[in-house]
Amino acid sequence: MLTTSSDDLARLGGTTSAQVRKDLSFFGSFGKRGLGYSVPELSSRLRDILGLGKQWKVCIIGVGKIGAALASYQGFAERGFIVTGLYDSDPEKVGTKSGAVTVRDTDELERDVRSGKYDVAILTVPSENAQEIVDLVVKGGIQAILSFAPTQLTVPADVELRTVNMAMELEALSFALTNRTNGR
Amino acid sequence: MLTTSSDDLARLGGTTSAQVRKDLSFFGSFGKRGLGYSVPELSSRLRDILGLGKQWKVCIIGVGKIGAALASYQGFAERGFIVTGLYDSDPEKVGTKSGAVTVRDTDELERDVRSGKYDVAILTVPSENAQEIVDLVVKGGIQAILSFAPTQLTVPADVELRTVNMAMELEALSFALTNRTNGR
DNA sequence: CCTAACTTGTGAACTAATTCACAAGCTTCC
DNA sequence: GGAAGCTTGTGAATTAGTTCACAAGTTAGG
């Protein structure tokens, strides 16, 4: 039978075997002592835990460079995130197509969210406009937001917000480069 | 005099005032009791600490959708990251221009890094090729790597590696959506 | 069946991070 | 100049997270 051990997983994930076991044990105990974890079972259990079998309706708000790149990103579909809407406030962009999806006007966004078209909103708008868009989709009843705007956003507790902050990564790199002990 | 308090900063940053003070105190004590922090001084000190006044020579490796979007990202220059090189292994792309920068062949990468052309490498290649490119630029003597490949990478301790992992963000979102207590 | 070799799951020990709470210092105002 | 009102900086207390270490369970081989 195909199995793997917490030690294998730790090496792959860049962590320790104790960490792997503690983390997994949070969701139950699906390993076998002396043997390890059944790969198919572990895989299936993790899929269930992460909800990767489900499908989520997603809109991307802001069809700039990053928004456009994301619109064709395969990783979304692979994880059940189906991009069914694109929005932009620029009249030049409204009506154009990206893949099979037509760009709609941001004016229609709140109504569309309210009508249940989307579970998740992906934000690729300038920082200045980010909070107002957030308020809009929250008002419409969105469940989760993934933001790429490098700014602190506020949402009610029942809305899941995650931020990918490139600017912060760059500043962390800059800090590390500036303060490295060895001069290489 | 224009000042701000740890309490203000905490509210802006979504944290607590004690946290702000502890963090800042790590680098010295540049606030005034009873008054707070001088905004210009704090700003300048943070710029110094983060090394935002310095300049870093950067190459982007992998000119796909994300790589191309990043090539024209303003945030790099704002933080002193000057993109002076683009690389791709696809002969179709080699020789084309993105902005003022011409795409070069990945074959030339190690040599170019070795010659001191770059301090930082930004990786936007498929996961399968990520580690081999990492090994290449490390061999050439790169100082830091920012990777967008959703895979665990290994570098020597003296190379700074940061990873932006979109796939992980999506899985975290999926998990949160699946396991949310309130059904909305 | 028994021993040797593994590996999990998990309390206990330890380490790291956050929060508390307050003395000390600065400013303002009377 | 003295009292009142702020706010920092930081030890101490608390909370969170990681690692240790080992009993208990499993497999393999004689």
At A180, the pLDDT band (50, 70, 90 cuts) reads confident
Mean pLDDT of A122-149: 97
Measure, in angstroms, how far nucleotide C12 C1' is from residue A11 CA: 25
Nucleotide nearest A34, CA–C1', reads: C7
Mean pLDDT of A46-69: 96
Q: Do B69 and A69 touch (CB under 8 A)?
A: yes
Chain A: residue whose CA lies nearest to B69: A65
Say which of A73, A158, A179 has its CB closest to residue B184. Answer: A158
Which pLDDT score, from 0 to 100, does residue B42 have? 97
Q: Please report, rounded to a whole number, the percentage of residues in chain B having pLDDT higher than 90.
A: 95
Q: At what angle do helices B166-178 and A39-50 cross, to 10 degrees?
A: 70
Q: At what angle do helices A6-13 and A17-25 cross, to 10 degrees?
A: 110
Task: Tell whether the model's pLDDT for residue A181 goes beyond 80.
Answer: no
Query: pLDDT tens digits for A67-102?
Result: 999 999 999 999 999 999 999 999 999 999 998 999
Residue among B143, B115, B149 at smallest CA distance from B58:
B143
Say which of A13, A56, A177 has its CB closest to residue B119. Answer: A177
CA distance A165 to A162: 10
Q: Which residues of B touch A66 (CB under 8 A)?
A: 69, 73
Say how many CB pairs under 8 Å bridge A and B. 140
CA distance A116 to A102: 18
Task: Tell whether the model's pLDDT for residue A105 goes beyond 50.
Answer: yes
CA distance B60 to B100: 14
At A182, the pLDDT band (50, 70, 90 cuts) reads low
Can you read off the two tokens belonging to residue B82? 């000057």
Mean pLDDT of B62-70: 95
Mean pLDDT of A103-109: 98
CA A12-A13-A17 angle, to 5 degrees, is: 90
Q: Which residues of A touch B149 (CB under 8 A)?
A: none
Task: Tell whether the model's pLDDT for residue B83 goes beyond 90.
Answer: yes
- Which residues lie below 8 Å from residue B21, measured CB to CB, with a gap of 6+? B6, B31
Helix or strand (DSSP H, E) at B7:
helix B6-13
Residue among A48, A59, A49, A53 at smallest CA distance from A143:
A59
Query: pLDDT tens digits for B156-182?
Result: 999 999 999 999 999 999 999 999 865
Q: Which residues of A touch B69 (CB under 8 A)?
A: 65-66, 68-69
Measure, in angstroms, how far nucleotide C2 C1' is from residue A32 CA: 22
Return residues 65-84 of B near A (CB < 8 Å).
65-66, 68-69, 72-73, 75-76, 79-81
- Which residues lie below 8 Å from residue A133, measured CB to CB, with a gap of 6+? A61, A62, A106, A109, A121, A123, A125
Task: Tell whether the model's pLDDT for residue B76 goes beyond 80.
Answer: yes
Say which of A75, A76, A175 has its CB closest to residue B50. Answer: A175
Q: Which residues of B touch A59 (CB under 8 A)?
A: none
A141 neighbors B184 (Cβ within 8 angstroms): yes
Burial B118-132 (b: 16+ CB within 10 A, else e): bbbbbbbbeeebbbe
Compute CA distances B144 → A66, A174, A176, whole Å: 23, 9, 9
The label of the residue with tokens 């792309």 reads B93
Q: At what angle do helices B6-13 and B17-25 cross, to 10 degrees?
A: 110
Backbone angles phi, psi at A170, to 5 degrees: -65, -40
Q: Do A51 and B177 touch (CB under 8 A)?
A: yes
List protein-proximal bases of chain D (any atom < 7 A from a CB). 5-11, 18-21, 23-27
CA distance B145 to B159: 8
Which pLDDT score, from 0 to 100, does residue B184 have? 45
Compute CA distances A80 → A46, A119, A151, B34, B181, whole Å: 14, 12, 27, 53, 20
Query: pLDDT tens digits for A60-74?
Result: 999 999 999 999 999
Q: Do B75 and A175 touch (CB under 8 A)?
A: no
- Residue A122 CB neighbours (<10 A): 27
At B7, the pLDDT band (50, 70, 90 cuts) reads very high
Which pLDDT score, from 0 to 100, does residue B181 have? 67
DSSP state of B92: T
